[in-house]
Chain A
Amino acid sequence: MSALGKSYKRIEGMSKVTGQTEYVMNMEMPGMLHVKLLRSTIPHGLIKHIDVSAAEQIPGVIRVVTGEDLKSMDINPYYGPAFRDQPVLAIDKVRYVGDPVAAVIAEDSKIAEDAVNYIDVEYKELEPVFDVLEAAQPGAPVIHEVIRPAGSFADLKNLLPKENSNICIHYKLRHGDMKKGFEQADHIFEDTFTTPAAVHLPMEQHVAIAYAEPDGRMNIWTANQSPSFVRSEVAHVLKMPESRLRVRVPYLGGGFGTKLYVKIEALVAVLALIVKKPVKLALTMDEVFITLTKHGTVFKMKTGITNDGRIIARHCEVYWDGGAYADIGPRITQKSGFTAAGPYDIPNVHIDSYNVYTNKAPAGAFRGFGVPQLVWAYESQMDIIAEKMGWDPLNFRRKQVLTEGKIHATGQKIVSVGLDKIIEELNTSIGWEEFFKQKQSNGIVKHGSKIRAKGVAIGLKAVLTPSISGAIVTLFADGSASVYCSTVDMGQGSDTIMGQIAAEVLGLPREKVHVVHPDTDVTPYDTITAASRSTFYMGNAIYKAAEEVKNKIFESAAEFFDVKPEHLALQDEKVIVVEKPELSMTLGEVVKEIFHMPAGSIIGQNVYESHYQSPDPETGQSEDIAIFWFPGGTAVEIEVDTETGKIDVLQLISVGDVGKAINPFNVHQQLYGASIMQLGQALFEECIFDYGQMINANMADYKVPTFKDLPAKTETIIVEVPHPEGPFGAKGVGETASFAVQPAIANALYQATGVRVKDMPLTPERVLQALKQTTNRSESTIRDFKEKAKG
């Protein structure tokens, strides 16, 4: 065992420190044209007329394309992973401020940018709807008159939209008997929690280049996390066989979910067909803001508990603000929706999860895929309950946390979920027990206007299921190897990990294994690079493909040595006979033995597919809804200034159960990175809308965490509860530390001040306002409650 569990340096490290890494943003082609977009200035309306003549007369402008041009082409002009509701360019109607209306193709991007200003659009404004709850009401302005199910993914094909409604998905889960559950409860808690839209902001913007060969075969280079989906979806748009479309992805300058599915790829492909030249569209950062957001949510949670500290019933109503296009919202509504009741053993659970269209920028996947919004609610409420009942919030969690073999609200039996271990790690690392005892006996110590306190929270996510990853492993005649897979290295280090897995199976040093970047002509289908799924799914495919290569080597060597294959082993790039290690041959010699010449390749392949049982559409029940579950937890110590409302996070501790850390350094880096990203979401990141327009859509007005925002102390802790089906026991890690940061901070704020904020983010303004409003009232509420409880 050579390559496993080692913190290898990034294989692309040299290119990254010398500025040489290949990104689509750097790519150029001879004769390449540049595209700039005109975007809608109104939130909801009909396009009455577009005049492009002035723009087209500007020297250097090749063509201006609008929805009218799309109508005359033999294409399917709508795309989307769940519903094909998003037009390549607005057709007849616009649905948000920023909806692409026209594309200017010019010799350089400055000419294109200038020409955009000369396009004249006349709209007939329609009544817009911005609030997710209002949009869900009957009688609200309807944003999509027709909704076309896409049918691209097995888990989404059963979800059917409601006609004449902005609710494009209503996911239901019914577990146990809700009525009986609440009847048995001694106390009932009802709270509403909200989270705002936020943005991913990878440092590299969305960018794509398309080029049609003379016979029409389409080539796309794109900064995208899902090359296989881009191929199939753009093939659908162009009415072209998938084999006529080639999608290539080099390194990505970050993704975090915003570069999933089709974003600008269908548009550049259509434009390339029109002008018959290579075209490049690179969005500016301001456009990245309005291309995709994280779902804002409203979560109404009602929980029944018994006096002995058990949650007996939980009713969850979650509204996901999907914006103008559904994108992958329906999957979030379902797959994260079914985890809304929290990682607890609750006999009676009722979940209604709604994905709702509004006239705002579309929302989609964002690191954590909806789970952080849910954890915000359920972990905040855990502490509300514990505080009011006088219980230790950590003990309250211990009492019902899902452990091995327990049944989740979906009906699935829980396997390999180290939540109990995570709770203990949180307890010891932050010193929870001492803190809580101290607080119980002496209260909270104030230092002038500053108060310090601690908080904890945990979360659980189900990995995307079903899904598919294909891989090919080729051993070359000199004993080196290549891995062909469509996993996108967007910064998480997948090239390093995937190479490590193949190297481990083949007994090769890591540097002898090359990982071929996604190229749909070459690398097999992979669902997506997201959802913390790649190490598990693609890792398994590569593991099995490499095993196939190994078996072929052993078969030939066994014949040569006249032993059985099981008597062989791979060691130091040689096949050896285990009992007689002096009998050995190099991998090159094995190839020579097979092909009778020092050339040829030994190929192994595997398509790893999950098992899955589709949930019952009425009850959401399934015994096999996710191939693995992965938990994470956060503990914080904060200092809040009661004069300014500012929260400083002094300690941020992230604990994740990753099954097996194949590359421990990368795992720590993922946990740390996700926790800092989430820190920004917790304390200040928020998209602000004015009549549907995102008014802080730039990095001056929307701030993300910098060096100055880092907690004084950070720690990442790996828990390893191996998964029986994971490669070497591994699960995923990319999102794990994103789950619980927000409620951990809010819970610490509660410990510090007795103030409960139920709306994210915890900005100084919001905290200060809450402090002013509830200083006395919250105490009286608790007293009343206790008196009632006694009575």
Chain B
Amino acid sequence: MKKQVNFTLNGKKVTALVSSSDTLLEVLRNQFHLYGARESCALGLCGVCTLIVSGNPVSGCLYLAPMVDGEEVLTVEGLESEGELHPVQQAFYEKNAFQCGYCTSGMILMAKKLLDENPNPSEEEIKDYMAGNICRCASYKQIIEAINEASKILDTGTNGVKAAYQ
């Protein structure tokens, strides 16, 4: 039995037919071809599949698709605006806050949510908030630097700068 769900995906109204066991992650990947969120641990523990649903970070691998009806979903693909990176993306880029990149989308969404709530987090606050996002390459140091950098960009209102090599 499939159910129709209507929701907002990265600012656009969309419709999908989902079965009761589909996860939101599967629907985004298989029906909307958004591959930024990825399944890793499949237990809601690693943060690689992090999505923002109506303002709250969720594990896309556990969030059942029928529940998304009427909600607003934000994925990493929805962060850019008018061709410019979101300040958190820009900071991750500038600080090389990734290695293999598999966890990066989840890290960026969680960091955005952190800065929405707390624009100037201390290092301890960053570590606490981000504790559910795992980077096996351990780019943690650069991710903390990137979150600090994003905090500064947001603070001064500097807008996204185009990609440039040093």
Write out the residue numbers on chain A whose beta carbons fall within 8 Å of the beta carbon of B35. Answer: 19-20, 23, 25-26
Write out the residue numbers on chain B whose beta carbons fall within 8 Å of the beta carbon of A239. Answer: none
Q: How far is the CA of A509 from the CA of B90 in the complex (A)?
A: 22
Where chain B touches its partner, the secondary structure class is loop
Identify the closest chain A residue to B77 (Cβ): A19
Whether A12 pairs with B101 at a CB distance below 8 angstroms is yes
Which of B89, B99, B104 is the one whose CB lies under 8 Å from A493?
Answer: B99
Q: How far is the CA of A675 from the CA of B132 in the complex (A)?
A: 20
Whether B94 pairs with A707 at a CB distance below 8 angstroms is no
Least Cβ distance of B94 to chain A in Å?
A: 7
Confirm or deny: A285 has a beta carbon within 8 angstroms of a beta carbon on chain B.
yes
Mark A680-701 against chain B: 1 for CB-CB distance below 8 A, else 0. 0000000000000000001110
Q: How far is the CA of A710 from the CA of B108 in the complex (A)?
A: 19
Whether A18 pairs with B166 at a CB distance below 8 angstroms is no
Whether B103 pairs with A203 at a CB distance below 8 angstroms is yes
Stretch at the interface among B1-9, B64-72, B139-147, B151-159: B139-147
Whether B98 pairs with A17 at a CB distance below 8 angstroms is yes
Confirm or deny: B93 has a beta carbon within 8 angstroms of a beta carbon on chain A.
yes
Within 8 A of A (CB), among B81-127: 85, 89-90, 92-94, 96, 98-105, 108, 126-127
Whether B100 pairs with A203 at a CB distance below 8 angstroms is yes
Q: A18-B36, A704-B134, A704-B136 are in contact. Are A23 and B102 (CB under 8 A)?
A: yes
Write out the residue numbers on chain A whose beta carbons fall within 8 Å of the beta carbon of B98. Answer: 10, 13, 16-17, 491
Identify the closest chain B residue to A679 (Cβ): B138
Whether B89 pairs with A253 at a CB distance below 8 angstroms is no
Q: How far is the CA of A526 from the CA of B105 in the complex (A)?
A: 31
Confirm or deny: A490 has a beta carbon within 8 angstroms of a beta carbon on chain B.
yes
Whether A700 pairs with B45 at a CB distance below 8 angstroms is yes
Q: Which of B29, B34, B46, B136 has the most CB of A within 10 A?
A: B136
Whether A202 pairs with B100 at a CB distance below 8 angstroms is yes
Least Cβ distance of B73 to chain A in Å?
A: 14
Q: A17-B108, A19-B35 are in contact. Are A253 and B131 (CB under 8 A)?
A: no
Whether A669 pairs with B38 at a CB distance below 8 angstroms is no
Within 8 A of B (CB), among A176-212: 200-205
Whether A7 pairs with B166 at a CB distance below 8 angstroms is yes
Q: How far is the CA of A704 from the CA of B46 in the complex (A)?
A: 10
Which of B90, B101, B128 is the one whose CB lies under 8 Å from A491?
Answer: B101
Q: How far is the CA of A17 from the CA of B95 in the complex (A)?
A: 11
Whether A19 pairs with B76 at a CB distance below 8 angstroms is yes
Q: A9-B94, A17-B92, A19-B35 are in contact. Are A672 and B141 (CB under 8 A)?
A: yes
Q: Which of A19, A205, A509, A708 has the most CB of B within 10 A?
A: A19
Whether B36 pairs with A9 at a CB distance below 8 angstroms is no
Mark A245-256 against chain B: 1 for CB-CB distance below 8 A, else 0. 000000111111
Confirm or deny: A442 has a beta carbon within 8 angstroms of a beta carbon on chain B.
no
Whether A669 pairs with B99 at a CB distance below 8 angstroms is yes
Confirm or deny: B130 has a beta carbon within 8 angstroms of a beta carbon on chain A.
yes
Confirm or deny: A673 has a beta carbon within 8 angstroms of a beta carbon on chain B.
yes
Q: How far is the CA of A679 from the CA of B166 in the complex (A)?
A: 33
Q: Which of B79, B133, B138 has the most CB of A within 10 A?
A: B138
Whether A705 pairs with B138 at a CB distance below 8 angstroms is yes
Confirm or deny: A706 has a beta carbon within 8 angstroms of a beta carbon on chain B.
yes
Within 8 A of B (CB), among A232-270: 251-256
Write out the residue numbers on chain A whose beta carbons fall within 8 Å of the beta carbon of B80. Answer: 18
Write out the residue numbers on chain B whose beta carbons fall within 8 Å of the beta carbon of A18. Answer: 36, 76-77, 79-80, 85, 89
Interface of B toward A, CB cutoff 8 Å = 21, 29, 34-38, 40-43, 45-46, 48, 75-77, 79-80, 85, 89-90, 92-94, 96, 98-105, 108, 126-128, 130-142, 144, 163, 165-166
Q: Besides the contacts A21-B101, A707-B133, what 15 more A-B pairs have beta carbons closer than 8 Å?
A: A8-B166, A17-B104, A17-B108, A19-B76, A110-B21, A203-B38, A491-B98, A669-B96, A669-B139, A674-B138, A677-B138, A706-B132, A707-B128, A707-B140, A710-B127
